[in-house]
């Protein structure tokens, strides 16, 4: 039995070389593979490596130019189901392509995000993927463009995933899902069931994702020739609690509506319990629809009609595109389609 955990100090390639009675170059070569080494030497080196339980320092290899590439993933909160699915896609694809995957939650703090991106630039990450919507302000564009430039000059690429695109010419890859289109289709479906007063439980007023879905809501109304009541457009955020509160307030205020469309399945879930708490039946008394098609949507009661967003695929695509490992997505700006999945939570108005 070999004493492997002799001391806590990690051994260097020189230790191995010394023990095997060869030079450091030789050790590097037998470990590296593609170089002729006599089998006797190889054996001695391998034995020394085994006895010392040696692993080459990845950071040193990286400096020497033969490191494992790295990719960074920045989101607001890994806890949201849709983010989690994107993260999953990113992580899978990254490791499939032999990349390490760094992750960071910003908790919505812009400064934190900035700091992290700077950090990733220092790490020489192959790509930095920013995910999740935000306010599309000039200040945002300016700041993000600066990130993109500085990352580009450091040789890595910025990917915006579900975020407002920058102007043309920015060295950035944008991958979006079609918020407006999805909401349009969903609300069209609800309208087709005869509903005319549809409450919309939106997100923050300037949040790009929320805005897109809101636009779809509006567009569907216009296409149908109905004039949406502005009082039916409520704003909160994308949490379950927001949906719950918004719905309670709407009910308390005596707002009139026969259907509710939530900007998110989470919001819909909160709204649903608020509805239940008020003694209302869904979809008997009021119809309800969500957005995202998180796995739980099926288990709400009634099963939630919603629009499916291919989050995992989105994550995968983001890393493939960023890493240039794809021929089928050379474009700098992709827009993924969505489709509504109808279940039991919206019913024709009687």
Partner DNA sequence: ACCGCACCGGGAACCGGTTTCCATCGTTGT
Partner DNA sequence: ACAACGATGGAAACCGGTTCCCGGTGCGGT
Q: Which residues bind a copy of itself (CB under 8 A)?
A: 4-10, 53, 55-63, 67-68, 77-79, 81, 84-85, 87-88, 91-92, 95, 100-105, 107, 118-119, 121-124, 149-150, 152-155, 171, 240, 269-270, 272-273, 276, 295-296, 298-301, 303
Site string for DNA, 2-21 (x = CB under 7 A): --------x-xxx------x
Query: Minimum CB separation from a copy of itself for residue 114, in Å?
Result: 13
* 109 contacts: CB under 8 Å, gap ≥ 6: none
| Residue 155 found at the interface with DNA (CB under 7 A) | no
* Residues between 26 and 65 with contacts to DNA, criterion CB under 7 A: 26-29, 31-32, 36-38, 40-41, 54, 56-57, 60-61, 63-65
Site string for DNA, 59-98 (x = CB under 7 A): -xx-xxxx--------------------------------
Count of alpha carbons within 13 angstroms of residue 318, beta-carbon side: 37
Judged by beta carbon distances under 5 to 8 A according to partner kind, the member of a copy of itself, DNA, none in contact with residue 24 is DNA
Query: Minimum CB separation from a copy of itself for residue 223, in Å?
Result: 32
105: phi then psi, degrees, rounded to nearest 5: -95, 135
| Residue 331 found at the interface with DNA (CB under 7 A) | no
The stretches of 154-298 forming alpha helices (DSSP H) are 179-192, 208-224, 240-252, 265-277
Query: Minimum CB separation from a copy of itself for residue 107, in Å?
Result: 8
Q: Which is nearer to a copy of itself, 220 or 322 (CB)?
A: 322
Query: With contact defined as beta carbons under 8 Å apart, do 199 and 234 qualify?
Result: yes
Query: With contact defined as beta carbons under 8 Å apart, do 319 and 97 qualify?
Result: yes
* 96 contacts: CB under 8 Å, gap ≥ 6: none
Q: Which is nearer to a copy of itself, 58 or 348 (CB)?
A: 58
Query: With contact defined as beta carbons under 8 Å apart, do 73 and 87 qualify?
Result: yes
Number of H helices, E strands in the chain: 12, 12
* Residues between 258 and 317 with contacts to DNA, criterion CB under 7 A: none
Count of alpha carbons within 13 angstroms of residue 205, beta-carbon side: 2
What distances in angstroms separate CA 61 from CA 32, 57, 186, 276, one per listed residue?
11, 6, 52, 59
Q: Give per-residue burial for 102-135: e unless 16+ CB within 10 Å, then b.
A: bebbbeeeeeebeebbeebbebebbbbbbbbbbe
Query: Minimum CB separation from a copy of itself for residue 193, in Å?
Result: 22
Q: Which residues bind DNA (CB under 7 A)?
A: 10, 12-14, 21-29, 31-32, 36-38, 40-41, 54, 56-57, 60-61, 63-66
């Amino acid at each position: 039995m070999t004493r492997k955990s002799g001391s806590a100090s990690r051994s260097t390639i020189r230790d191995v070389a010394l023990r095997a009675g060869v030079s450091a170059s030789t050790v590097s070569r037998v470990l590296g593979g593609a170089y002729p080494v006599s089998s006797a030497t190889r054996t001695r080196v391998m034995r020394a490596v085994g006895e010392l339980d040696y692993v080459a320092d990845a950071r040193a290899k990286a400096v020497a130019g033969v490191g494992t590439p790295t990719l960074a993933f920045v989101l607001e909160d890994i806890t949201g189901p849709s983010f989690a699915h994107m993260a999953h896609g990113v992580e899978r694809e990254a490791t499939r392509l032999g990349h390490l995957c760094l992750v960071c939650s910003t908790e919505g703090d812009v400064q934190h995000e900035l700091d992290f991106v700077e950090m990733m630039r220092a790490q020489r990450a192959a790509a930095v993927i920013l995910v999740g919507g935000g306010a599309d302000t000039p200040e945002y564009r300016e700041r993000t463009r600066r990130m993109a430039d500085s990352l580009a000059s450091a040789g890595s690429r910025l990917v915006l995933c579900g975020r407002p695109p920058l102007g043309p010419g920015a060295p950035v890859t944008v991958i979006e899902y079609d918020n407006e289109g999805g909401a349009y289709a969903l609300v069209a479906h609800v309208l087709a069931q005869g509903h005319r007063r549809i409450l919309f439980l939106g997100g923050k007023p300037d949040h790009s994702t929320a805005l897109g879905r809101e636009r779809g809501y509006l567009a569907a109304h216009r296409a149908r020739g109905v004039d949406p009541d502005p009082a039916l457009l409520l704003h909160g955020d994308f949490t379950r609690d927001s949906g719950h509160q918004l719905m309670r307030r709407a009910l308390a205020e005596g707002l009139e509506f026969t259907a509710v469309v939530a900007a998110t399945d989470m919001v819909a879930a909160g709204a649903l319990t608020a509805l239940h708490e008020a003694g209302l039946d869904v979809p008997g008394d009021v119809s309800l629809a969500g957005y995202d098609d998180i796995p739980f949507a099926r288990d709400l009661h009634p099963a939630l009609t919603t629009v499916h967003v291919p989050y995992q695929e989105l994550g995968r695509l983001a890393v493939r595109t960023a890493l240039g490992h794809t021929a089928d997505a050379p474009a700098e700006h992709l827009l993924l389609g969505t489709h509504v999945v109808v279940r039991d939570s919206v019913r024709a108005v009687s």
